[in-house]
Structure 1
Amino acid sequence: MNNIRSTLATVWRIAAPYFNSEDKWAGRGLLAAVIAIELALVANDVLLNQWRNRFYNALQERDWDGFVRELIVFCVLAAILTVLSIYQLYLNQWLQIRWRRWMTSKYLGEWLHDANHYRMQLHGDAADNPDQRISDDIKMFVSQTLGLGIGLLSSIVTLASFVVILWGLSAAAPLHLFGSDVSFPGYLVWGALVYAIFGTALTQWIGSPLVRLDFDQQRLEADFRFNLVRVRENSEQIALLKGDRAEREQLSTRFGSVVSNWYGIMSRTKRLTAFTQSYSQAAVVFPVILSAPAYFASKIQLGTVMQIMEAFGKVQDALSFFISVYRTMAEWRAVVARLDGFERSIAQAERLATDPDAVKAVPAASDAIALQELLVKLPNGAPLVAATGLKLRPGERTLVTGPSGAGKSTLFRAVAGIWPFGSGSIVIPEHASLMMLPQKPYFPIGSLHAAIVYPAEAEKFSADRIREVLGQIGLPQLASRLEEEGHWNRMLSLGEQQRLGLARALLHAPDYLFLDEATASLDEPSEAALYRLLMEELPATTIVSIGHRSTLEEFHQRNIALVRDGDRFGLRDATKIAASP
């Protein structure tokens, strides 16, 4: 019971914001229309139940006029049912797509807000495979929440309507045992209730493990799909390393987990289906068995028996709602748990950014980036880099060196404002623009024009300007391909990608440009030519480079080295290090 209450509270927390959003009136209106149609369908079922009594009585009595009249009534009721069913489906689908669109926009906004997606990974993301959460889980949540909610409402209204009918039929068809009537008010209702309670309890007992199994299946499927994508994206390195066999073994192992969990689902589903199918088939004859003695004693007509069968079935179906949708509910609860984990992971990432003890980027009326009492830490709290007093002044070029693992790239991330672990502050001049170029730049799938100018809109830079820059960086052959669509991180060599990264910097002309081994895949003459190009084209830009080549020193005015200082690394002027004994 506590689990049910917890699940419903989570569903309310996830679902309610849409119906209070800017699209609330459309959402509420569509939901009200779907509910109204569902109630009308239940009313139509009640009328059909009454019609069934009259129709079969007309057959039993060979009443031709009554038979024809009831056929006409049936055609009218069937036409109403058809129209209601069509519009219920149409409005339900309309509500689903509007709700899904709003939730997708909300989750994308939160996930991609202020580097939350990056911090979620740093903190050991509880919501694995966010692509699945946003693409698949939102779709399933919306459709299944509406389906289960409307189904539950329909069952409640159907139960209330047909319990009254079945209670009246219990009086019209008294319980007849051993040749005499037995006074048992509402015995047909009580029979349906006992039957449903028995079925629900057994279904819960047999099917409860499916919730965990479904959750694991979605996670394992997504993990397998993610690793397939990784193989595709790194196919060149895998081929060069002759890693086909190793990848096949790893993928087979992961898929083995998918298969193993699926066998668990198969086994549990077989047991659940065996019971629910037997339960459903027995429900067909159970009301006939209860009413047959009264019929053969000539207490009731055939029409009443048929009406009892349908009314009993409606009551039993309503009471057995959770049995019929148990498999769907297991999937739905797994979806709710995954979306809840995704929301909690986003909230945790946001708390990291707003933690008063975290590294803070402070805008100020200053002409330089300044590190003040800065201590960059690892996610586990271990100190990594201590830096204070360092200033990056306008137009200055600084080279940062140090051993691998010293925290050079992490220091850049802290300056960029995406690494929260640590303490101290980084003063950033107000309205200053910063650009970080990593060793492997990112290019979105699309036209080459849009990929180069990212994250700006493609229209911000003319094609002529981009062609000019492509010539400057040594890629004039790409000038004719600006409108070509492609996956440029896969189509271009790493050296070409690094040249395009520098082209992006030339176009945007940031106030501060941080190069994290952004030319490491180029030969030294090409690297030197590109640094000279940056100095000529961006004379006012402050350039900070991470590099291991000594040839970079001539393009920078100072060299800051990270050196071991106890349990952390500290920033030191390289000339002072060289002068020390």
Structure 2
Amino acid sequence: MTVLHALAATLSRAGRLARAAASGPDWWRGAALYAAVLALNFVGVWVSIRLIAWNKAFFDALGALDGQTALRQVGVFFLLVSASAGSWLAADWLRKRLLILWRGQLTAQALDLWLGGWAYWQLRPGFGAVPVENPDQRVAEDCRKFVEGLLEFTLDLISGAVALVSFVALLWSLSTFALPACFAGQVTLGGLMQLASAFSQVTTALSWFIFFNRDPAGFVAVCERLDGLMAAARAPAPLPGAPQAILRTASPDGALHLQGLRLATPDGRWLPALPDCTIRPGARVWNSGASGEGKTTLLAAIGGIWLSGEGRIAVPEARFLTLPAGAPVFAEGLAAAACYPEDPATQGSAKLNAVLTRLGLGHRLDTADEAALSGLSMGERQRLGLARAALLRPDWLVMDEATSALDPAFEADLMTWLSAELP
């Protein structure tokens, strides 16, 4: 019973993952490719059946010393072999196209679950009840391994079953007439070769079920890892005892309201209580406190990615931009990093140059894209973050030690300039 339960669980996981891989806006393309590969595999089975019949015609011609018929059968043989090779090559190409399509769709769904709902944040080590190890490897490698195993098993299983039934039926029909002919001494050389070829094809088709070399344990492990990742990302489970009673609502008046807010660590330890407050648009608020009192945690709660705690946060429907201590950089270049997530073309080269020059980064615009971002110091990264704020012009700007690496005089100068740039 335990084995049956394990098999049922594996089939259930594989079914969920297969639906995820085959669904999406291009589901019809995947279905068409799958059907085309099966059809080409069936063409290969048909060619094998025709080759069995060819054995009788060719060897009967040899036995009768009929050179003209034998030569004609040689031409038929080359046509059949060409059809077999062509169908195999086409099926292999279409199978690889299907692999790329389904792997892409499965990877996209896994990434959407992992990144779209902040699951990567909620399931960090020490934050979630279900640890998720090596999520990047699960998405990159396990998606590929699952789709490869799924296609290899299902396509080969269906094709092998059809081939086995076809060859057994053919061998049965041949043996029905061959046995009386054998006792009557009327079996020709072609008949013997036809029977031998049919028996060989039955043996080959049956051997697939015996010597199928896909590692079942590896496929089961891939299904468990990938399905576990997607299940955990759909509903991140907190650590036992961690309160998650923060009510996040839309602000009725465009201001940010904190009411009865008290934050907790993922393991349930309460942080110092926060006073109720209302922050109006255009206000400048400085949040100070000792290390470990929850300053960054408060910003994460306002952003909606910190769930441990209780109270109410009313957030205005406006554009927020959060600048951490170290601004992210991208290989696309300095302009792309300064305008992310927008296209640098929307800002205009003159404005982009002016902002980066004001922040002391204009000299890097003349270098190659990747070289412009290599070796950026922490201070330069933070200035790059301020450039993002000036270019994107958000309604609300949240800064978490975003100027900690700048000297006080330069920091004051840039903050004065940024205040004038932003509404």
After TM superposition, the score normalised by the length of structure 1 is 0.64
User: CA separation in 2, counterparts of 1:166 and 1:458?
Assistant: 70
Asked whether the 8 Å contact 2:379–2:403 carries over to 1, the reply is yes
| Correspondence 1:386 to 2:389 | no
Q: Deviations over 1:43-96 (max 9, x none)?
A: 211121232244345545655455334323312322322332233223323333
The equivalent position to 1:3 in structure 2, one of 6, 30, 34, is: 6
Q: Deviations over 1:120-168 (max 9, x none)?
A: 3242775433333333333333333222211001111111111223334
Q: Deviations over 1:17-36 (max 9, x none)?
A: 45453323322222222222
User: CA separation in 2, counterparts of 1:56 and 1:386?
Assistant: 94
Q: Deviations over 1:185-237 (max 9, x none)?
A: xxxxxxxxxxxxxxxxxxxxxxxxxxxxxxxxxxxxxxxxxxxxxxxxxxxxx
User: CA separation in 1, counterparts of 2:228 and 2:87?
Assistant: 38
Unaligned runs of 5+ in 2: none
Match of 2:145 in 1: 140
Asked whether the 8 Å contact 1:376–1:423 carries over to 2, the reply is yes
Whichever residue aligns with residue 537 of structure 1, its letter is: E
Match of 1:522 in 2: 406
Match of 2:134 in 1: 129
Q: What displacement does 1:447 show?
A: 1.8
Q: Deviations over 1:372-431 (max 9, x none)?
A: 2222222223323432412223333322222222221111111111112222221112x3
| Correspondence 1:507 to 2:391 | yes
User: CA separation in 2, counterparts of 1:509 and 1:155?
Assistant: 62
Match of 1:437 in 2: 323
Q: 1:322 to 1:336 in 2, by over 3 A?
A: farther
Asked whether the 8 Å contact 1:443–1:488 carries over to 2, the reply is no
| Correspondence 1:23 to 2:15 | no
| Correspondence 1:446 to 2:313 | no
User: CA separation in 2, counterparts of 1:103 and 1:159?
Assistant: 32
Q: What displacement does 1:520 show?
A: 1.4
Match of 2:97 in 1: 94
User: CA separation in 2, counterparts of 1:489 and 1:117?
Assistant: 26
Identify the structure with the greater strand proportion.
1
Match of 2:164 in 1: 159
| Correspondence 1:104 to 2:104 | no
The equivalent position to 1:12 in structure 2, one of 8, 12, 15, is: 15
Q: 1:3 to 1:36 in 2, by over 3 A?
A: same
Q: What displacement does 1:307 show?
A: 4.2
Q: 1:455 to 1:114 in 2, by over 3 A?
A: farther
Identity of aligned residues (%): 35
Alignment of 1:89-238 (within 5 A): 89-121=92-124, 122-123=127-128, 126-168=131-173
User: CA separation in 2, counterparts of 1:485 and 1:368?
Assistant: 40
Unaligned runs of 5+ in 1: 175-180, 182-293, 541-581
Q: 1:61 to 1:490 in 2, by over 3 A?
A: same
Match of 1:562 in 2: none
Q: 1:488 to 1:337 in 2, by over 3 A?
A: farther
Match of 1:491 in 2: 375
The equivalent position to 2:207 in structure 1, one of 320, 327, 332, is: 320
Asked whether the 8 Å contact 1:358–1:420 carries over to 2, the reply is yes
Q: 1:415 to 1:72 in 2, by over 3 A?
A: same
User: CA separation in 2, counterparts of 1:505 and 1:343?
Assistant: 34
Q: What displacement does 1:446 show?
A: 0.8
Match of 1:216 in 2: none
Q: What displacement does 1:452 show?
A: 0.6
User: CA separation in 1, counterparts of 2:11 and 2:189?
Assistant: 44
Whichever residue aligns with residue 401 of structure 1, its letter is: S
Whichever residue aligns with residue 517 of structure 1, its letter is: E
Q: 1:427 to 1:533 in 2, by over 3 A?
A: same
| Correspondence 1:395 to 2:255 | no
User: CA separation in 1, counterparts of 2:351 and 2:111?
Assistant: 32
Q: 1:298 to 1:120 in 2, by over 3 A?
A: farther
SS in structure 1 at match of 2:313? strand
SS in structure 1 at match of 2:14? helix
Relative to structure 2, which stretch is displaced further, 43-52 or 68-77?
A: 68-77
Q: 1:28 to 1:515 in 2, by over 3 A?
A: same
Asked whether the 8 Å contact 2:243–2:308 carries over to 1, the reply is no
Match of 1:475 in 2: 361
Whichever residue aligns with residue 375 of structure 1, its letter is: R
Match of 1:78 in 2: 81
Match of 1:37 in 2: 40
Q: 1:437 to 1:48 in 2, by over 3 A?
A: same
Alignment of 1:399-418 (within 5 A): 399-418=286-305
Q: Deviations over 1:521-575 (max 9, x none)?
A: 122222222233233333x5xxxxxxxxxxxxxxxxxxxxxxxxxxxxxxxxxxx
User: CA separation in 1, counterparts of 2:356 and 2:262?
Assistant: 40
Match of 1:534 in 2: 418
Match of 2:226 in 1: 339
Alignment of 1:535-574 (within 5 A): 535-538=419-422, 540=423
Aligned residues: 415
Q: What displacement does 1:475 show?
A: 3.2
Q: 1:66 to 1:508 in 2, by over 3 A?
A: closer
Relative to structure 2, which stretch is displaced further, 79-88 or 309-318?
A: 309-318
Please give the root-mean-square deviation of Cα atoms over the aligned residues, in Å: 3.3
